[in-house]
Structure 1
Amino acid sequence: MTTSSRYSQDADEIDLIEVARELWAQKTLIILITLIVTVAVGAYAFLSKPVYEAKLFLQPPTYNSIADFNYGRTKEAELDPYSVKDVYDVFIRRLQSESLRRKFFDDVYLPSLPKDKQEGSRELLYAALLADLTIAPVRGSSDRYEISARTNDPSVAAQWITEYLKRADDVAKAEMIRNVTREAEVRARNIEQQIETLRISGKEAQEDSIVQLKEALRIAESIGLENPPLISGNLSSEVSAAMDGQLTYMRGAKALRAEIRNLEERESNDPFIENLRDLQIKAGFYHGLNVNPEDVALYRQDGNVEEPDRPIKPKKALLLLVGVLGGGVLGVVVAIARYVVRRFRTAKRIDPSQL
């Protein structure tokens, strides 16, 4: 019984020296497996299409590059000027918008695919675009963004970034210009309403003056006062200054008729309305306020978009190294497994009762 137990224990133990001998004995198998795995991995590395990545970093514009957006925007004009952050936020929002991605997918990405792939699931193709064209903030920076494109053609990767960036810039500029123009138009309409109110008030004041002068004319004619009375000394200037209101008739019927005729024949009261010309100048300024897209910038490029000259994957050297190591490990595992199975079968064939 003791001999049987000792043999069973020896059978379950693996001698490292014996294992090393077995591995050496099966070195051909290990080398063969290593070669097979390495060749398979190498075939993938050299036959798969290379993937190229183009990158571009974006950062906020300078204050000078957004100056035209703030032309005429002052506290006196009741229009708050745009900050660099305001303008940059509009651009980033458009850059990351779903509508722009969808438009780029329909106009650029989908037509670039082979005909057979274009007939596949649009959602899967769109998901592939989102994986290939990414926009993300730069780690450690709150206002710098990175836009990258991955394709099998290095020139296409650079073209994608250029085209996508141009589309985002055009849409964001159009939005900013619409905002500026709309606010200017609202301001111009408000001023025009003030001008119209002043003109109405001026017309009513003209009509009131005619009524008052006609009443004074009747009084002057009723008392036979054709010309203003001649008053000498200091009293003359005092009476002349008081020839308004109830004493208007003292101007004399002749002067009153001329004044009434002048008011009735007046075509416009604009020259006589206070502050009207200033308001007209302001309204004209806001009507003519326009921003040239070429004179403003919503972002700055940190560098240029360049065609990548080396693929980011497959990394052939790394894959070959992994193939060699992985194949070697797999070969060793297979060799040890064969050794263990053979040893186990040998132990089963021995009858312990004969020992």
Structure 2
Amino acid sequence: MSSSFRVPSVPPSGEVDIAAVFHAVWQQKVLVLFVSVGITLAAAVYAFTAKPEYQVSSVLRPAAINELDALNRSEVYQLPPGDALIKVGASLESYETRLNFFRANQALFKPFERPGRTLEQSFDAFNRDSLKLVLPDPKKSDSLSAYIGLGLNYPKGIDGVSVLNKFVDYAIDAEREQIAADLRVIVKNRLTELEGKIEAARSSYKTDKDARIATLQEADNLKRAQLQDELKALRQQIKTARQDRIAQLGEAIAIAKSLGIEKPTTPSALGEKTGGSSESSSVMRTEINNQQIPLYFMGVEALSAERTALLQRKSDDFTEGRIAQIARELQLLQSNREIEVLKQRQNEDLFLSGVEPLRAEVVRLKNLGNLDISNMKLVTIDRKALEPLRPVSPNKILILAIGVLVGGVLGVLAALIRHFIISGRRAKQQEVTPVLAGAAGKPLHERVIS
């Protein structure tokens, strides 16, 4: 026997002996195969036992312009097709709309319910993991790309097609009802505003009418007071004139008596009489004189008769023609026909000015109540959800492929780890054995390896 000591060759630091690694793995091919098969079987079990998950989607696009023409022509609520699509998209994304749909269709969501969870908690899980809204790229301004997509992932046992289609219809109906409610509020507010303007016109008309009546009454009262003052002054003037006439007649009577003038006479006749003229009384004389003959020449009889008549007079109104005119004017002022007509108006709205356009707008807005929004097409459902042909998960082929790949990798790693562990143990044993032999009195270089 020959004694020798073999030191295992170690590759330079940082270098890997690929052949040695491959040889080590090949020596443990059973382990690699066992791990690969185990991982692959585990992946296969998951692939064939996992609950299938399906996916459906729906796509919405803007409605045609004519679908919203009746609403836009109302001049009350403007809703272009693009804005209508955005509104419906906001409704589809709304948490409240989704929760209300969940509550209204609990029978469709029974599989989502979990023991110990409230209705809202079950909905939150469904809303977070199942419903996804897909929007177009905002960088693209092409109108052809305007759409809104909605996807639903659901496990087996749920009618996902009905859930998605009903939810889309529910969101559209909810938005349509919201638009109808908004339209009603806007129309109501506009009508209230117009009624306020018409009422303001009524108030202005009433104020103007009352002011007109007050002006006419004031004018009549002023005219009546002026006429009454004039009448009173005229009567006082006539009375004073009558009293003056009576006083004049009294003086004239006294003078006539002192002169013995009983009958009307003239100055020339009186002179002849006092001068003793013997002309026959049958002679008629005519005297032309530009001077006013004194009143006493009328004679006592005529003057006394006039004075007696003046004293017995009850009213002097007939002596002044203006008094009759004043009486006529006062009689006319007893009733103002214009005031009576103003007060007797029945339908005062007919006399309001500037309200014709307001009334026409009121009629137009009230006719908007006949606008049928329930059948208005806000969006076009470009693609409804259809029953999927196969589940989107689990992908059995992909899972098996990944299982095989992962199993192979893990098998190789396991083989390498086992190889390095065994190699490390052997290296330690080889280092310990020479030490033990030297302690027994044998030289190290004489170690015999059989």
Shorter chain as denominator, the TM-score bin is 0.7 to 0.9
2:387 corresponds to 1:346: no
Could you say which residue in structure 2 is the equivalent of 1:234? none
CA deviation vs aligned residue, 1:52-99 (integer Å, no higher than 9, x gap): 0011122333332222332331xxxxx573444443333332222221
**Distance in structure 1 (CA, Å) of the matches to 2:424 and 2:215:** 130
Q: Is the Cα–Cα contact under 8 Å of residues 154 and 309 in structure 1 kept in the other structure?
A: no
5+ residue gaps in structure 1? 74-78, 224-248
Q: Is the Cα–Cα contact under 8 Å of residues 29 and 335 in structure 1 kept in the other structure?
A: yes
CA 1:293–1:348: 2 relative to 1, 3 Å: same
2:413 corresponds to 1:336: no
What aligned pairs does 1:251-290 form with structure 2 within 5 A after superposition?
A: 260-290=339-369
Among candidates 373, 376, 382, match of residue 302 of structure 1? 382
Could you say which residue in structure 2 is the equivalent of 1:160? 163
**How much has 1:214 moved relative to structure 2?**
6.2
Could you say which residue in structure 1 is the equivalent of 2:177? 174
CA 1:276–1:345: 2 relative to 1, 3 Å: closer
CA 1:120–1:51: 2 relative to 1, 3 Å: same
Q: Is the Cα–Cα contact under 8 Å of residues 52 and 154 in structure 1 kept in the other structure?
A: no
Could you say which residue in structure 1 is the equivalent of 2:117? 120
2:198 corresponds to 1:195: yes
**Distance in structure 1 (CA, Å) of the matches to 2:109 and 2:425:** 61
Could you say which residue in structure 1 is the equivalent of 2:44? 42
CA 1:262–1:146: 2 relative to 1, 3 Å: same
**Distance in structure 2 (CA, Å) of the matches to 1:303 and 1:114:** 26
**Distance in structure 2 (CA, Å) of the matches to 1:161 and 1:50:** 18
**Distance in structure 1 (CA, Å) of the matches to 2:105 and 2:111:** 13
2:10 corresponds to 1:9: yes
2:97 corresponds to 1:100: yes
Identity of aligned residues (%): 24
CA 1:80–1:164: 2 relative to 1, 3 Å: closer
**Distance in structure 2 (CA, Å) of the matches to 1:115 and 1:304:** 23
AA in 2 matched with 1:130: R
CA 1:172–1:18: 2 relative to 1, 3 Å: same
CA deviation vs aligned residue, 1:159-206 (integer Å, no higher than 9, x gap): 221222222222222222222222222221222122222223333444
AA in 2 matched with 1:119: G
Could you say which residue in structure 2 is the equivalent of 1:130? 128
**Distance in structure 2 (CA, Å) of the matches to 1:51 and 1:115:** 13
Aligned partner of residue 150 in structure 1, secondary structure? strand
CA 1:283–1:328: 2 relative to 1, 3 Å: same
Could you say which residue in structure 2 is the equivalent of 1:185? 188
**Distance in structure 2 (CA, Å) of the matches to 1:19 and 1:210:** 121
Q: Is the Cα–Cα contact under 8 Å of residues 61 and 148 in structure 2 kept in the other structure?
A: yes
AA in 2 matched with 1:65: E
Q: How many residues align?
A: 320
**Distance in structure 2 (CA, Å) of the matches to 1:11 and 1:211:** 125
Q: Is the Cα–Cα contact under 8 Å of residues 113 and 122 in structure 2 kept in the other structure?
A: no
Could you say which residue in structure 2 is the equivalent of 1:244? none
Higher-Rg structure is: 2
**Distance in structure 2 (CA, Å) of the matches to 1:168 and 1:7:** 77
AA in 2 matched with 1:288: N
CA 1:27–1:5: 2 relative to 1, 3 Å: closer
**Distance in structure 2 (CA, Å) of the matches to 1:158 and 1:191:** 49
Aligned partner of residue 288 in structure 1, secondary structure? helix
Aligned partner of residue 386 in structure 2, secondary structure? coil
Deviation larger for 43-52 or 108-117: 108-117
**How much has 1:45 moved relative to structure 2?**
0.4
Q: Is the Cα–Cα contact under 8 Å of residues 85 and 378 in structure 2 kept in the other structure?
A: yes
**Distance in structure 2 (CA, Å) of the matches to 1:210 and 1:148:** 75
5+ residue gaps in structure 2? 229-327, 435-443
Q: Is the Cα–Cα contact under 8 Å of residues 34 and 331 in structure 1 kept in the other structure?
A: yes
CA deviation vs aligned residue, 1:93-125 (integer Å, no higher than 9, x gap): 222222123323444468723597143365476
Q: Is the Cα–Cα contact under 8 Å of residues 11 and 17 in structure 2 kept in the other structure?
A: no
**How much has 1:148 moved relative to structure 2?**
0.8
AA in 2 matched with 1:279: L
Q: Is the Cα–Cα contact under 8 Å of residues 202 and 273 in structure 1 kept in the other structure?
A: yes
Q: Structure 2 length as normaliser, TM-score? A: 0.60
C-alpha RMSD of the superposition: 3.7
CA 1:39–1:84: 2 relative to 1, 3 Å: same
Q: Is the Cα–Cα contact under 8 Å of residues 50 and 394 in structure 2 kept in the other structure?
A: yes
Deviation larger for 109-118 or 57-66: 109-118
Q: Is the Cα–Cα contact under 8 Å of residues 131 and 150 in structure 2 kept in the other structure?
A: yes
**How much has 1:316 moved relative to structure 2?**
0.4
